[in-house]
Amino acid sequence: MSETQTISVPRPAPQLRCIGCGAVIAGADAAEDFRCRACGNLFEVEYPELLVRDSWRDSKPPTLAANDAARMGHPDSIHGAESWKELWRGRRLSRERLNRSGVWRFRELLPFMADDENVVTLEEGNTPLYALPRSAESLGIERLFAKHQGMNPTGSFKDTGMTAALSVAKERGFTWVACASTGNTSASMAAYAARAGMRSLVLIPEGKVAWGKLSQSLDYGAVTCQLKTDFDGCVSVLAELVRRAPVYLLNSVNPYRLEGQKTAGIELAEAMDWQVPDHLIVPGGNLANSSALGKGFLELLALRMIDRLPRISVIQAEGANPLFLSWTQHQGNEFAPVEAHTRATAIRIGNPASWQKAVGILRATGGWCEQVSEQEIALAKAEIGAEGIGCEPASAVTLAGLKKLRAQGHIGKQETVVLLLTGHTLKDPEYTIDLHRGKLLTAQETAAMPATQRAELEAMASAPQVLEPSVDAVMRVLDEAVQSRMVRG
């Protein structure tokens, strides 16, 4: 069945638009590596009967295609928009298969499936928005929240994109899907492929993927190859492989992934009663997610479902900071890959595919790009853990970055800030254990920390203690803990 055919309701014909040269093609005509045949850049999905965009480069929101809006039942008026909001909220009470997904309950903004039967879902999305009162207090911010995308079925935000793109693979009749990954995409892909009865091929950098993630891809039955290279090397191998074998590429260059991932932004706006936060802070790796979220907000704005955009800021690890360098040294106009090194292995990426999309969103929303050190990531991770929430190291860059943005005066006391936590704390328990045992950072790294930061990290560390099985021994530990808490306050 072709992408434009419909089953029950009339749907807009989706198309792909190249963000480089503006070429427009039908979804089914995309190259195997999802690169534009004319200029080599990436595509974005657009819905010409719903929203129109003159040029991707101008960073302006698309506008509503008003002529067909009424016929399609789309919200060309405030009244119409309100009725979609009601519809989406109401679906949370529904037991119907697609309504139980926090991605597909927004399907009016995902009109690219020809047949809903092909949708592969694990009931992703609908993730919590937690307050972070302790971090808020120490930063002097009144409203700080974490949108925890690690609370998805496979423990990362990738599930929201995977349900979208893997469903397209199914609809197009593929039996094999593949990705290069730092671990989360592969875990997610393996799970969704298994649910769909499809096979999956995973390429991951040997020794640089957290155990929790590697174990998932094995558990869900993926063919898992640990290549003796880094993530960027895995991407190069896969780009060639998809031209030689009939496998469907599920890296984030696949624009349908971003369609699913944009729903986290819609969900966030919904959770805040359609008053978007002033700031949304996201980690940057391959740089697709920041632009996916931005696309969601731009579409909501065009549909007049929100009345402004949040500033979207991207935070990178210092050792994997090509966007930071491009943004601060060349205003995002030039870009040079780096050799990436960070313990936040999820974002250990030196040559991110979607950097231009990320630059577009930084510009469109007025956000910033910052970098944070290994020490700052470690401390932020401990702080998010101490809020009873936890996340994987790559997600903790958001809090570390917020501290910097706040110190620079970019974020005011009364502004509402949301951190996007991308992965679950159990993804990388080794990092957490090393951190609390004081074995994560080298002596040199510890020595290089400002004294206050070092003291904070030491105070947060809570290493496990091996004891004789006696009540007295445990009582002693308890007393010490009570004492030290009283000293610390």
- Give the interface with ligand F0G as residue ranges (CB under 6 A): 156, 158, 181-185, 252, 283-289, 346-347, 392, 394-395, 422-423
Q: How far is the CB of 181 from ligand F0G (least distance, A)?
A: 3
User: Which residues are CB-contacts of 357 (< 8 A; sequence separation ≥ 6)?
Assistant: 19, 42, 44, 287, 288, 290, 291
* Other Cβ atoms within 10 Å of 436 Cβ, number: 16
Residue 179's DSSP bridge partners are: 202
CB nearer to ligand F0G: pick between 1 and 194: 194
Q: How far is the CB of 352 from ligand F0G (least distance, A)?
A: 7
Alpha helices in 245-317 (DSSP H): 255-261, 263-271, 289-302
Q: How far is the CB of 307 from ligand F0G (least distance, A)?
A: 27
Is the backbone of residue 438 left (phi > 0), alpha (psi -120 to 50) or beta? left
| Strand duo 43-46 + 15-18: pairing | antiparallel
CB nearer to ligand F0G: pick between 114 and 364: 364
CB nearer to ligand F0G: pick between 96 and 430: 430
Q: How far is the CB of 234 from ligand F0G (least distance, A)?
A: 9
CA dist., res. 11 & res. 109, Å (int): 10
Contact (Cβ atoms closer than 8 angstroms) between residue 309 and residue 365 = yes
CB nearer to ligand F0G: pick between 4 and 236: 236
Q: How far is the CB of 381 from ligand F0G (least distance, A)?
A: 12
CA dist., res. 33 & res. 423, Å (int): 26
CA 365 to chain centre: 17
Is the backbone of residue 187 left (phi > 0), alpha (psi -120 to 50) or beta? alpha
CB nearer to ligand F0G: pick between 252 and 326: 252
CB nearer to ligand F0G: pick between 109 and 353: 353
Q: How far is the CB of 222 from ligand F0G (least distance, A)?
A: 13
CB nearer to ligand F0G: pick between 15 and 184: 184
Burial of 268 (0-12, 13-18, 19+ CB in 10 A): buried
Q: How far is the CB of 158 from ligand F0G (least distance, A)?
A: 6
CB nearer to ligand F0G: pick between 102 and 284: 284
Which of 119, 72, 114 minimizes the C-alpha distance to 98? 119
CB nearer to ligand F0G: pick between 99 and 200: 200
Burial of 43 (0-12, 13-18, 19+ CB in 10 A): buried
Q: How far is the CB of 361 from ligand F0G (least distance, A)?
A: 11
Q: How far is the CB of 84 from ligand F0G (least distance, A)?
A: 27
Exposure class string for 289-300: b at 16+ Cβ within 10 A, else e: bbbbbbbbbbbb
Q: Both tokens of residue 352?
A: 């991110």
Q: How far is the CB of 358 from ligand F0G (least distance, A)?
A: 7
User: Which residues are CB-contacts of 37 (< 8 A; sequence separation ≥ 6)?
Assistant: 23, 31
CB nearer to ligand F0G: pick between 185 and 356: 185
Q: Both tokens of residue 91?
A: 């679906």
CA dist., res. 12 & res. 69, Å (int): 10
CB nearer to ligand F0G: pick between 205 and 310: 205
Q: How far is the CB of 271 from ligand F0G (least distance, A)?
A: 20
CB nearer to ligand F0G: pick between 135 and 286: 286
How many degrees, rounded to 5, is the angle at CA 261 between CA 81 and CA 156? 135
Which of 426, 429, 430, 421 minimizes the C-alpha distance to 402? 421
Radius of gyration of the chain (CA): 22
Q: How far is the CB of 305 from ligand F0G (least distance, A)?
A: 24
In the block, which residue shows the tokens 């992703």?
A: 124
